[in-house]
Each structure stands twice: as structure tokens, then as C-alpha cells.
Structure 1
Amino acid sequence: MASEAEAPLISRRDDGLEDESHTDAEDEAVEWPAGRPGLFIWLLTLSAGISGLLFGYDTGVISATLVSIGTSLSGRALTSLDKSVITSCTALLALAASPVSSVLADRVGRKPVILLSDVLFVGGALAQALSATVGGMVAGRAVVGAAVGAASFVTPLYIAELAPPAHRGRLVTMNVLSITAGQVVAYVAGWAFAEHADPAAGWRWMVGLGALPAALQCALLLRMPETPRWLVRAGRSADARLVIERTLAPDSAPAPRRRRVVDAVVKDIEREIREEQGRAPPGAAPAWLRGWRELLGVPKNRRALTIACLLQGLQQLCGFNSLMYFSATIFTMLGFSIPTLTSLTVAATNFAFTVLALLLIDRIGRRRILLYSVPFMVAGLLLAAFGFSYVKLPSTGTDSSAPGGASSPQGAAVIILVSIMIYVAAYALGLGNVPWMQSELFPLNVRSLGSGAATATNWLANFIIGLTFLPLEQMEWLTPTVTFALYGAVCAAGWFAIWRIYPETAGLTLEEATCLLENGWGVK
């Protein structure tokens, strides 16, 4: 099915807006005007992308916070369990919020869900900054988790439903770029507060600053529109036409052609909504229940959900966010004198290669960039496992994250740092952004629900990794060498699954991408 702003080739209909100058070719089809996205689209993407900045800042700031809290919470040093719970509770609430936000996004709109997440971001940031106990910190992190869960689902959907088709991949990747920028900002703030502020208060400023971007986004989004698809579904086709008109660059095409494109897009949405409503007989089950039945019962939808959940789960089970959450803890353990600054090099690598992905994602394609990058992730993880084999950790039960808690030759520490940077660079090129293209896989009638379910898979895997990484890595369950080798094995298995079932969707309309999954996985 074609989307309102996502189909580069839209069947022409008798819209009553034709101009006498149109050609016979235009009688058969109306092409989306070529050219770069206009200023309005960039402003809209940047405004929505603040959610990604908040997501990334939250991911990065907890790394520096965990090594800066000291005895500020509950009057004692944090244990490995405290750190794991503080970190993983965010993912747990994000897991709960994702499917709920998918229902809200259909009922009240995409933009109100983003605004709701901003309110939660502000409340969670302030709760963390003012917390005096471990329980209070967990509660603040949980509120932030609910915000992250809603924003991580709805922001890529919001951008995808408004983006011109030729630039959809690039604009959705802009949200991922915002995430990596947020991580860089968090590590810079962590280093600055750790080195130049009172340790007892510095970490509170770190977590509290997360309220500022959320407040800024609230102010900006109040002036941004709702997506055309939701507007048409709400019976506001006239408003949808105005929004689509604004997404076309002013100099992209003559006015008559622009009007034909706008009207054809709106008619496409209206037709699909009528088809969706026509499938529901009188007295049928509630809409949300019908949605789940269609998502799980229709083979092509089930295949789309399988692929989306595979990619989102692999994005977390490969271990990347554990490095973001606990990188300062790892580098402290390895003996680096300024672990927060060392962590910044990892975040900067992530940002730089996400910029590269931004330039390549629509040229190389989603499937190819994953098949090219995941082997380098495997290589980086195995090299890190090799480096950790030379690190001597203290006996189980001691705090190996304390300075001097582990004995590591300088060469081994450098090998681990380089290997992590290789791994992060490869991740940023592929797995860091491709899973968020998930809306391309689903038809309109189950897009919100399917994307929400896939995002919930992401957060379920994030919760598992966040809760288990430190016990695994600190020899309470496994050694660091086995832990990183295990992540490498997960990536290798994921590469094989991608090769088998993930088709190439770059350059295709949503309708064409859905047709790929009609009678199989569409890989060949």
C-alpha cells in the first residue's frame, strides 16, 4: 500500500485539479517531484529529532553518572546489582510504554505522543537530580524510560510519514544521528562535571540537564503539523493537503503538478482507509484487537513483524548499549586515568560513522549495508575478547570497576579500546540505524501497531542486556572474554538471518516493499 508521503510513483486519479498543460504521461502517473527536501522538512526533522538527542543523552549520561555517584545515594557505594537495576529499569519501562504509545499514536496522533514523552523526560530528569536514595534514582530512571519508549517508537514514524520518498532513509537516519549526538553531549558533560565540579553535585547536574532539550522540543513541536495519514484518518483531509503541500520544496515543480501530486496522495490515503474500514463487519471486535489479528494472521504482515523484531532485537543483543551504559565503568576497570574522556572517543566514533551512514543508506541500501558492516562488528568483539584474556580481574565479590580493581597491561587496554571503536564504527553504519526503517515493512493499516511491537522487542532485549552485562562481564557469571565472544556469536547468527530473510527496500514505495513479502521473504 502506498503512503501519503512515501510513494515516489502515485497512480493518477480524476482529481479535478488537472491543468491543460499536463502530458499524456502525467495522465497515467503522477511522480513525486525530484529535488532536495525543502526547509520545512528539515526544520520538522530537526524538531522531531530532539527526541533522539534525549534518547542518546540518557544512554550516555548514565555511564558517567555510575562512576560519579560515589556514596550520594542511600549513604553507600553502589553495588553491581544497584548499577544494573538503575540502568535496566529504563529499558523495562520503555518496553511497557512502546505498545501503549502505538495505540495512543493511532487514537490521538503522532505529535501528542511526542509531546507527552517530553513531559515525562522533564519529570524524570528532575526526579533523578533530586533523588537521595537508590530507590528514588530507580524511580526517576523509570519515568525517563517511559519517555524514551514512547519517543523511540513515534519519532521515526512521524518523520517517515512526512518525508519525501527519495529521502526517507536519510531523514529517518537523522533521528539516529541525533541519538549519537546526544551520547557525545552526555560524555562531554560527564567529563566536564567529573573533572571540574563537586563530585557530590556534578552527577545531579548531568542527569538534570536532560530536562532542557525536552522543554525546547515542546516549544518547537507546538508549531509543527500532524502527519497527513493521521489527519486523513481523523476526517481532516483539507489539513492533510496543506501539510503535504508544505513538504514539497517550493521550486520542485509547477503549481498545477504540485496540486495533482497532493490530491493523488490524499486520495490514496482515503482509499486505503476505506479498504481498512470495509474489512470490519458491523459488530466486529474492537479496532485494536482487529489490528493484532491482522498483524499476526496475514502472512505478509507476520513476515514483516518477524523481520522488524529480528533487527530490533539484534540491535540490542549485539551488546552495543551495554558499552554505552557501562563504558566508563569498563575503562575505569582497565586503568584509564580519565574514563569519561576515554568513553567520549567511543561516542565520537559512533557519531562520525552515523554521519557516514546518513550519506550511504539510500545509495547502498538497507540490506547491503548490514551485510557489509556486521562482519566488522564480529571482528571487533572477538578482538576485544582477545584483549580481555590478558586482563586479570580480582576475585568474585570485589568491585572490579574501582580504579586499580583489575590488572591490565597497557597493550591489552589499547587493544580493547581499538577493538571497541571498530565495533562501534561498524554498528553505526548498519545496525544502529537500519532497524528504525521498520515502517517500510508494514502496510498502513498495521504500521503503527507493528512498529510498536518491534520497538518493544528492542527494549525487551535492552532490558536483558542492561540487567546482565555487569554480572557477566565482572566474572560473577562469565569472564569478559567469554562475554564479548558471546556477543560476537550473536552478531554472526544475526548476519545469517539477515542474509536469509531481509529483502532490500531502498528506493521502493511502501506498496512495493509490502509486495516483496507477499509470497515469501522477497530476498531473491
Structure 2
Amino acid sequence: QEFSTREKPSHKPPINGYTVGLTLLACIGGLLFGYDTGIMSGIQLFFGKAEGMRPMSTLWVEVIVSVTPGVAAFGALVAGKASDKFGRRVIIIFASFTFLVGSIICGVAPSKWFILGGRATLGVAIGFASMIIPVYISEAAPLHLRGALVTCYQLMITTGFILANAVAAGFAYVDPVNLGWRLMFGFAAVPSILQLIGFMFLKDTPRYLYSKGRTDEAEAVLTKVYGGDDEWVQYDLSVIEEATRQEMEIQKSQGSSPTILRVFRTPHVRKALFIGCSMQMFQQFVGINSILYYASEIIKGAGIKDDIMNLWISCGIAAVQSVGTFAPMKLIEKWGRRPTLLTSMAAMVVALAAMGTAFMVIN
């Protein structure tokens, strides 16, 4: 919700190169999120046979796969406080560098212990990026585009899964046991470097700069964002001023109690938080991440023994997920949120039942 002491301009501001650039660079973080979590589906077909990796037990594979999202959860917990102290831009640069280091460690790893360390490093990067990049986009993009541009980040995560499977299939042609799987890990260094260099030339968000008393810098960034349209610059600046004032009033009235306690003391906010968190929790319980992480093993269990064919089928599964992310954006406008959600739940029940039945028949 926007609150401002100024009247909202009636015209739309121009979209300029700065806005496009910051969005593309920020969305690389989503791409890396999807890529680095999805690439293990292809790599696990090959790396256990490599010199220095044997014997690779099922437990080891599970630990290497799961350490990344596990560490990411802890990274996300500290990312918010860190970005408030050091700035959104600095934290994204740190995440980009950590993505780069993690991919290099995994790519050159002489043993499975090094892969485990590299995957944990990638978990730190994913935790920080997934927490801060949507905040950066929502605070730095033009007001009328913020919702759409944050959605672009979510779409890039699913695109990352597609890219991971396509890259895995491509490098599977290049001595996959000794070299190919290393190239699969190392490929993530390319977008990491692009994001790292790109953010060196971007500024922090106007809201963060304003919160630190750097009003002139905040206005200068808004001037870039709105292509010099002073009417929109002043309006957005007034929105930031009003939001900051309201936050200070809330903090003053609520005292020094932690935010989470204030949330639980406010009935309507507590209810919204419970519903939102429950939906996310049940989404994870469905097991979609396990299906994506172990897609190659699931497909092999279904009777597809050719590894390269396996990876291209995995790419198709990731592509369907991407369509499933994009389609509801249009359906919500036509059907509404609740019917769309219930339809999705029904489809998940049917899909899981069909998959379980298929494996019962196969086995």
C-alpha cells in the first residue's frame, strides 16, 4: 500500500536502461538459486564413479544434496539484519562472490568432502540471495513495476532449474565421469561473475539510503530509476518518507519488544502469518523439491537407463514447473486466488497418486 503526502502522477514514467539493468542483474540471483539446487539431479548420475569419490553411498549423496537448502535456511535468517546494517547492495555482492567460490570449490573438488564444503558455501549464497534480492527489487524498481519485477525473480528460479538440466545434458557428452560433472558445477561461475561485476556499478536502494539519512543519494538513485521524471521522483521519495515515519511511530508505540512478539500480539497479523506460513509448509510437504533434486534417479527407476535421455526428460519436467509458475499469474486475474489455489491442490493430489501408482506397478 502506498501512502504519500503528494498526489500520484497521472502518467506512467518511462522504462529506462538502469531499471532494466538492475532487474536483470538482480534476477541472476534467482537463476543461480534454481541452477545450483537443480544441477545435483544430473551430477549424481556421474560423480560417484569418479576417481577420489568412490565409494559414494546413498547417504553421502543425500547429505551433499540436502546440505545446500539446509545451510540456506540459516543464511536467510541472518541476511535481513545484515542487509539493514551493511546495505542490500553489499549483501548481494557478498552472495555473488559466495556463489562464485562455491561453484569453483565443487568444480575442482578432489574428494566428496570438498564437494560437501562447496555445497554448504552455495547454501550460504542461496540463503542471502533469496532473502535480499526480492527486497532489493521491490525497493529499487519503479512503483508501478515492483510487483511484476519481483515476479520475474521467481520465474528466474524455475528458469534456473531448466538451465541446470539442459547444461547437465550438454556436458554429459563430454566425458561425464571425469570432466563433465565438474563442468556442470563450474558453469555457475559465469552468471556469478556477471552479477558480481554488475552490482559493483549499481547503487543501493533509495529506501535503504533514506533510512541512513543519505537523502540526496536516495533522490539521485530515484532520478536514475525514473529517467529524470521529477514528478515521479518526488512522489516516490514522499512514499519512502511516509513509510519511514510510520515505521518509527510503530516502533515508538510498541517499545523495544522484538518484531515477532508484536506480530503474535496482533490478532489479524498473526492469522495472516499463520495462513501464509502454513501454505508454504504444505507446499514443501508435497515433496516437489525432492522430485526436482532426484528427478534423474526417479526417471532411472521408471526404466530410462540412458543417462543423456534421462537428463533431457528432467529438463522437460523443469520446463513444466516453469509453466506452472507463469500460468497462475493470468489465471488469478480470471478465477481469483482461492479457486486457483484449490485447483492447484487438486492437481497435486492427482499427480502424486499417479506417480505412486506407477511405481507400485513397475516394482
How high is the TM-score relative to the length of structure 1? 0.63
Change (3 A) 1:374 1:38: farther
Aligned partners of 1:381, 1:177: CA distance in 2, in Å? 23
Aligned partners of 2:10, 2:221: CA distance in 1, in Å? 15
Aligned partners of 2:149, 2:32: CA distance in 1, in Å? 18
Render the CA deviation track for 1:434-475: whole Å, top value 9, x for unaligned: xxxxxxxxxxxxxxxxxxxxxxxxxxxxxxxxxxxxxxxxxx
Aligned partners of 2:215, 2:335: CA distance in 1, in Å? 36
Match of 1:60 in 2: 38
Aligned partners of 1:300, 1:30: CA distance in 2, in Å? 29
Change (3 A) 1:86 1:244: same
Aligned partners of 1:332, 1:32: CA distance in 2, in Å? 57
Specify every segment of 5 or more residues in structure 2 that has no aligned partner in the other structure, as ranges.
Answer: none
Shift of 1:268: 1.1
Match of 1:120 in 2: 98
Match of 1:455 in 2: none
Residue 317 of structure 2 is aligned to residue 346 of structure 1: yes
Shift of 1:374: 2.5
Aligned partners of 2:152, 2:185: CA distance in 1, in Å? 24
Render the CA deviation track for 1:1-20: whole Å, top value 9, x for unaligned: x4xxxx2xx3425xxxxxxx
Contact 1:167 1:362 in 2 (8 A): no
Residue 42 of structure 2 is aligned to residue 49 of structure 1: no
Contact 2:92 2:133 in 1 (8 A): yes
Shift of 1:157: 1.7
Residue 281 of structure 2 is aligned to residue 278 of structure 1: no
Match of 2:279 in 1: 311
Shift of 1:173: 1.6
Residue 104 of structure 2 is aligned to residue 130 of structure 1: no
Shift of 1:201: 1.5
Q: Which amino acid aligns with 1:201?
A: L
Residue 189 of structure 2 is aligned to residue 196 of structure 1: no
SS of the residue 1:219 aligns to: helix
Match of 1:12 in 2: 5
Q: 1:374 aligns with which of 323, 345, 358?
A: 345
Q: Which amino acid aligns with 2:282?
A: L
Shift of 1:290: 2.8
More helix by share: 2
Shift of 1:187: 0.8
Contact 1:169 1:361 in 2 (8 A): no
Q: Which amino acid aligns with 1:112?
A: V
Residue 126 of structure 2 is aligned to residue 178 of structure 1: no
Render the CA deviation track for 1:310-369: whole Å, top value 9, x for unaligned: 233233222111111100111112121221111111112223343434555667665553
Q: Which amino acid aligns with 2:325?
A: T
Match of 1:386 in 2: 357
Alignment of 1:353-502 (within 5 A): 353-357=324-328, 366-392=337-363
Match of 2:232 in 1: 258
Render the CA deviation track for 1:400-438: whole Å, top value 9, x for unaligned: xxxxxxxxxxxxxxxxxxxxxxxxxxxxxxxxxxxxxxx
Change (3 A) 1:72 1:256: closer
Change (3 A) 1:106 1:361: farther
Specify every segment of 5 or more residues in structure 1 that has no aligned partner in the other structure, as ranges.
Answer: 14-28, 393-524
Match of 1:425 in 2: none
Aligned partners of 2:169, 2:82: CA distance in 1, in Å? 38
SS of the residue 2:361 aligns to: coil
Aligned partners of 1:280, 1:362: CA distance in 2, in Å? 37
Shift of 1:48: 0.3
Contact 2:49 2:177 in 1 (8 A): no
Change (3 A) 1:244 1:390: same
Shift of 1:276: 4.1
Match of 2:121 in 1: 143
Residue 134 of structure 2 is aligned to residue 156 of structure 1: yes
Larger Rg: 1
Aligned partners of 1:220, 1:32: CA distance in 2, in Å? 33
Aligned partners of 2:237, 2:290: CA distance in 1, in Å? 47
Q: Which amino acid aligns with 1:313?
A: M
Aligned partners of 1:379, 1:171: CA distance in 2, in Å? 32
Shift of 1:78: 2.2
Contact 1:12 1:30 in 2 (8 A): no
Aligned partners of 1:157, 1:390: CA distance in 2, in Å? 47
Count of aligned pairs: 360
Aligned partners of 1:112, 1:362: CA distance in 2, in Å? 37
Contact 1:237 1:266 in 2 (8 A): no
Aligned partners of 1:238, 1:276: CA distance in 2, in Å? 26
Change (3 A) 1:77 1:371: same
Contact 1:190 1:206 in 2 (8 A): yes
Change (3 A) 1:33 1:186: same
Contact 2:14 2:226 in 1 (8 A): no
Shift of 1:198: 4.4
Contact 2:89 2:204 in 1 (8 A): yes
Change (3 A) 1:249 1:378: farther
